[in-house]
């Protein structure tokens, strides 16, 4: 009897934690360390992700140039504290202001 109650409580706790996290549809779960130069040329935009109720980590999400063969635009998640990420954002912002 105690085992069944414990199993029920654990099952309920796991379900609550999974629902409390929200949807991972648009959330980064990790970072890339770096990007090759040819991939850097394919970045067409970016957005920022904040660590809030829906997502666990803060990130910069780079949108890559869409290829004909892919139906969905590819994204790359990067650490906003990395120097190369800051440089890329600054260069994109300068280009957008020009």
Q: What is the CATH number of the domain that holds 64?
A: 2.40.50.40
- pLDDT the model gives residue 24: 54
Please state the rounded mean pLDDT for residues 6-18: 52
Count structural domains, the chain. 1
User: 80 in a domain, yes or no?
Assistant: yes
Residue 14 — pLDDT band, cuts 50, 70, 90? low
Tokens 């020009």 belong to residue: 98
User: 10 in a domain, yes or no?
Assistant: no
Please state the rounded mean pLDDT for residues 31-51: 92
85, 60 contact by CB (below 8 A): yes
Residue 98 pLDDT exceeds 70: yes
Please state the separation of Cα 7 from the chain's center in Å.
Answer: 33
User: 54 in a domain, yes or no?
Assistant: yes
User: 7 in a domain, yes or no?
Assistant: no
User: 13 in a domain, yes or no?
Assistant: no
User: 12 in a domain, yes or no?
Assistant: no
Please state the rounded mean pLDDT for residues 61-76: 84
Taking CA atoms, 26 is separated from 54, 81, 94, 98, in Å, by 9, 20, 27, 30
Residue 92 pLDDT exceeds 80: yes
Q: What end-to-end distance do the CA atoms of the chain give, in Å?
A: 71
Structural domain span for residue 77: 25-97
pTM above 0.85, yes or no: no
User: 77 in a domain, yes or no?
Assistant: yes
């Amino acid at each position: 009897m105690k085992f069944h109650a414990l199993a029920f409580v654990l099952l309920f706790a796991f379900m609550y934690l999974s629902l409390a996290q929200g949807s991972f549809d648009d959330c980064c779960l990790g970072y890339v360390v770096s990007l090759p130069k040819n991939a850097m040329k394919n970045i067409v935009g970016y957005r920022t992700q904040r660590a809030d109720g829906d997502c666990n980590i803060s990130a910069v999400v780079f949108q890559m140039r869409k290829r004909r063969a892919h139906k969905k635009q590819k994204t790359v998640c990067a650490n906003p504290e990395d120097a190369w990420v800051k440089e890329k954002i600054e260069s994109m912002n300068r280009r957008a202001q020009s």
